[in-house]
Amino acid sequence: SPNVNLASRLEAATKQYGVRILVSEQVASVMSRACQDLLRKVDRVTVKGSARPITLYTLDIAEDATNVRLAKELDPQLRTGEEREAEDAARRWVRQVQVAEGDDAAEEIRDEETEHATDEAVAEITKEERMFRRVAEIFQLRRTVTPEFLHVWDGALDLYTKGKWKEAYSEFEMAQFLLPDDGPTRTLMGYIKRRDCEAPEGWTGVRELTSK
């Protein structure tokens, strides 16, 4: 299918851009605003078999010891102890609420129906708690770029898109100075340099990804 084909080409293109992940504008459009804010626009391209331009984004993730640890903690199997404590705390809170809302606040709640309701409430609370924790950790993973770099990068990409390649190349050089190992910077600098820093006639800000 076209979607599978596109996914395959974007996965292969991660090597061209030197990034872990590439996200198409279609996927980015259905993300929450908070997730969209974590993405960096890296190019606008066409892929083999389609003339429709696609904007590409990446998520900048540092490959350091801290991120390795945080990524491992996204695995719920590694956090059973903490989550068990969270479940116990949630259960105590639910019981307190149920007792306070009962006819006799001193009566201990033991009947099966209430126990089932308690289990459901605890499950919902702990689900939300886990989700919040996962999202917080995913947000922590973005540690390779700085606001200064993003400001320079956005300016360079804008010049590149408008066809002002000499100016764009200078800005990309500054971005490379700020973040020497950035793959998208290296890729677009190479693309511009191979064409003598001159945008082709009729340039629309879109280039073709020439390999799968």
Token pair belonging to 50:
């389609």
pTM: 0.65
In the structure encoding, which two tokens stand for residue 51, read together? 């003339």
Tell me which residue has tokens 């064409």.
195
CA distances from 71 to 39, 63, 67, 136 (A): 18, 10, 6, 11
Alpha-carbon span 118 to 95, nearest angstrom: 7
Q: Report pLDDT for 66.
A: 63
If DSSP states are collapsed to H, E and C, what string results for the chain? CHHHHHHHHHHHHHHHHCCCCCEEHHHHHCCCHHHHCCEEEEEEEECCCCCCCEEEEEECCCCCHHHHHHHHHCCHHHHHHHHHHHHHHHHHHHHHHHHHHCCCCCCCCCCHHHHHHHHHHHHHHHHHHHHHHHHHHHHHCCCCCCHHHHHHHHHHHHHHHCCCHHHHHHHHHHHHHHCCCCHHHHHHHHHHHCCCCCCCCCCCCCEECCCC
- One-letter amino acid for residue 111 of the chain: D
The CA-based dihedral angle spanning residues 161, 210, 187, 196, taken in that order and rounded to the nearest 10 degrees: -70
Q: In what order do the strands lie in the sheet with 54-59?
A: 23-24, 54-59, 39-46, 207-208
**What pLDDT sits at residue 48?**
82
**What is the chain's pLDDT, residue by residue, as a tens digit (212 residues)?**
566 677 888 888 999 999 888 999 988 888 878 778 888 999 999 988 788 999 999 988 766 666 556 556 655 444 445 555 555 555 555 555 555 555 444 444 445 545 555 555 555 545 544 544 454 455 555 556 788 999 999 999 999 999 999 999 999 999 999 999 899 999 999 999 999 999 999 999 999 987 54
**Using CA atoms, how far apart are residues 131 and 34, in angstroms rounded to an integer?**
14
Check if the beta carbon of residue 183 is closer than 8 Å to that of residue 19: yes
